[in-house]
């Protein structure tokens, strides 16, 4: 097959591209330039897709012996990821920019361009597996190494996108094995640290970055009854589950610490309450998709597991599509779920689908 290898400049995508070449595919490497800011370099192990990373990817492509290009996706990235991140925070939600990047850049914009140019598939260094069922349907599954499994961030992929996706690292037992292979191949990126944090906020100061892009406006911090218990300096700086830095002026009647339960941008208020009120009995979202074949009767409640963060443990649950929403009821309450997060639904190791959380129902009703 003629495949396009997305090469971020890290060790995983480098080894994935090399394995695709070894498998006999006609491979072309491409690095996505997501920022036009000159001199945007990695700080420690933060960030990704920088000038430094592009140079690392090119050196690997030369060693593998494949053509290599840099494609400017900065405008699309700003619109679909950065602007979305800002608007979600303005709406009081907690977005996942890596999820949006996979959905709209790597497996929408990139795949769309790849298919238009005659490529059969896009190769990435994600730790996930694709399995074909007895009827020829492609399914997304967890990687062999659960500690490195990245199927959560790929939960946004559709059946059509899975037809043109390749994950050569899916069956690899550990990241250490990938690094050892990279070193054996002579890749300078073999010991390169993993990227983390938000790539377009390379210094890691999300609060300060949001203050510049969203603006700061003082407002009230209230308890669940609506009584004012403090003042904030920008609601965007608060996240559901936060305990520290609340600067409350009125102590709780029982003297116990309080946590952020909700952020309301419409009224510029932050709602706080007891820790147990963070326990969520149900969550739902209208922006849901299926990763591969959809359930035959999604309106009928089915058993599953739900995962709400990339590295969280899956929780047994039941789910169904009701009133245009994917409604998920965990077997036991999940702590600290925020609108804007992504809930990925699994059946065994298979990723069944996902939804962006629009609303949650607390396990502790007001006044309880």
- Mind telling me the catalytic residues? 101, 199
And the tokens for 91?
A: 């709406």
| Contact partners, residue 188, CB within 8 Å, separation at least 6 | 56, 59, 60
In order, the DSSP letters of 25-59 are -EEEEEEEE----TT----TTB--S-HHHHHHHHH
d(CA 285, CA 304): 16
Task: Find the helix packing angle between 206-214 and 83-90, rounded to 10°.
Answer: 80
Q: In the 8-state DSSP scheme, what is residue 82?
A: I
3-state secondary structure 107-161: HHHHHHHHHHCCCCEEECCCCEEEEECCCCCEEEEECCCCCCCCHHHHCCCCHHH
Task: Tell me if 198 sits within 8 A of 214, measured CB to CB.
Answer: no
Task: Tell me if 307 sits within 8 A of 346, measured CB to CB.
Answer: yes
d(CA 264, CA 337): 15
d(CA 77, CA 82): 7
d(CA 94, CA 212): 17
């Amino acid at each position: 097959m003629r495949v396009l290898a997305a090469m971020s400049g890290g060790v995983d995508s480098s080894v994935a591209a090399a394995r695709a070449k070894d498998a006999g595919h006609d491979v072309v490497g491409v690095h996505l330039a997501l920022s036009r800011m000159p001199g945007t370099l990695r700080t420690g192990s933060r960030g990704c897709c920088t000038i430094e990373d592009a140079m690392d990817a090119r050196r690997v492509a030369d060693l593998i012996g494949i053509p290599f290009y840099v494609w400017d996706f900065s405008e699309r990235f700003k619109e679909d990821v950065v602007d979305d991140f800002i608007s979600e925070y303005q709406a009081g939600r907690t977005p996942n920019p890596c999820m949006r990047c996979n959905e709209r850049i790597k497996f929408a914009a990139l795949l769309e361009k790849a298919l238009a140019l005659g490529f059969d598939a896009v190769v990435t260094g994600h730790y996930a597996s694709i399995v074909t069922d007895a009827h020829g349907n492609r399914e997304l599954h967890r990687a062999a190494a659960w500690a490195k499994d990245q199927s959560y961030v790929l939960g946004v992929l559709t059946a059509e996108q899975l037809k043109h996706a390749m994950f050569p690292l899916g069956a690899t037992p550990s990241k250490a094995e990938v690094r050892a292979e990279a070193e054996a191949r002579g890749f300078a990126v073999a010991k390169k640290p993993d990227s983390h944090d938000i790539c377009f906020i390379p210094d890691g100061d999300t609060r300060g970055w949001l203050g510049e892009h969203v603006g700061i406006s003082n407002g009230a911090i209230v308890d669940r009854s609506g009584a004012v218990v403090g003042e904030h300096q920008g609601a965007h700086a608060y996240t559901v589950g936060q305990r520290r830095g609340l600067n409350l002026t009125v102590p709780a009647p029982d003297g116990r610490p309080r946590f952020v339960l909700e952020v309301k941008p419409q009224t510029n208020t932050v709602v706080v309450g007891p820790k147990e009120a963070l326990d969520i009995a149900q969550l739902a979202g209208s922006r849901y998709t299926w990763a591969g074949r959809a359930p035959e009767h999604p309106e009928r409640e089915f058993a599953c597991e739900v995962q709400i963060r990339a590295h969280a443990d899956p929780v047994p649950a039941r789910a169904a599509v009701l009133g245009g929403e994917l409604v998920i009821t965990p077997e036991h309450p999940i702590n600290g779920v925020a609108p804007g997060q992504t809930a990925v639904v699994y059946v065994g190791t298979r990723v069944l689908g996902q939804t962006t959380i629009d609303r949650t129902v607390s396990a502790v009703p007001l006044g309880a």
